[in-house]
Amino acid sequence: MRRAPVLAVLALGTALLAGCGSGSHSADPSGQQSDGASASATAAGTAGGTAGPAITGGYVALGDSYSAAPGVPTVQFASGCVRSTNNYPHLIAAALPGLALTDVTCSAATTSSLSAAQHTAAALSLHVPPQLDALSATTRYVTVGIGGNDVGLFNALVGCMTKGDCKATYGDQADSAVETIGEHVTAALQAVHAKAPHAEVALVGYPQLVPASGSCAALPLQEADRAFLHQLFIDISQRMAQAAKDADARFVDVLDASRGHDICSADPWINGPHNTAQAFAFHPFEEEQRAVAALVVKALG
């Protein structure tokens, strides 16, 4: 597949970090969100250079809530996916107007949600189609951000805060959970390649939520639990990197980029339990989504 010129990648990555607007969006009852928005040509040029030839073609975003970014802000409630128009797929599409975005990311998705319908809201009996249905032989770019919900990773984090003794409860299961994520993600990426054989595929990892030392009011953890969870996120990221390699996909190392931006940091990329006006609890802020968008552009360039 034709690669984007290096100058375009550098210029657009800087523009994404600086900020870019999103245009008009429409959602259909299936939960699939198509973005015909195009940022002006100056969106890419704000980095101070010529962007070069446009990156064009169909771009499909697959993933869970760390890709859907609920509350940043959320405008797509109809399907129960609680998807933001400022998530990283939309930021990429706004900065690269030659891309035609189909965003089927959905909160609470597991790797099973790629190949089977996802039940998104039990009270309303809402379902969305398999995310892989959005792919075709003409798809040019795919991002995949998924795997943590397969083992209840983020529910476990909340449980550790409220109940404590996380390492004692989950320690013996950690290696198995990491391997489960790796195996499931590898299979998911292989399925993506089968549906979109000509696409550039990028696996987007998870950020680091837990500080390297200490805790805070937003993330009150016992020291043993903090150390355990901090290492668990590292292990998951490393296993996902291996999954991407095994499945011939690019790996976007969000964990490494997010160091110093954990929940307890002075500049957090991930929300704690309190600031729900800017993001859902324990989910990415818009700043994190902009950083991820820049990383993805670089990875696919």
Give φ, ψ of 184 to 5 degrees. -65, -40
Residue 54 tokens, joined: 């446009």
Tell me the CB-side half-sphere exposure of residue 142, using CA atoms within 13 A. 33
CA distances 1 to 284, 293, 300, Å, are 31, 20, 10
25 catalytic, yes or no? no
Give φ, ψ of 104 to 5 degrees. -115, 20
Tell me the CB-side half-sphere exposure of residue 97, using CA atoms within 13 A. 16
107 catalytic, yes or no? no
Catalytic one among 25, 90, 230, 283? Answer: 283
Catalytic one among 22, 65, 67, 79? Answer: 65
Catalytic center residues: 65, 283
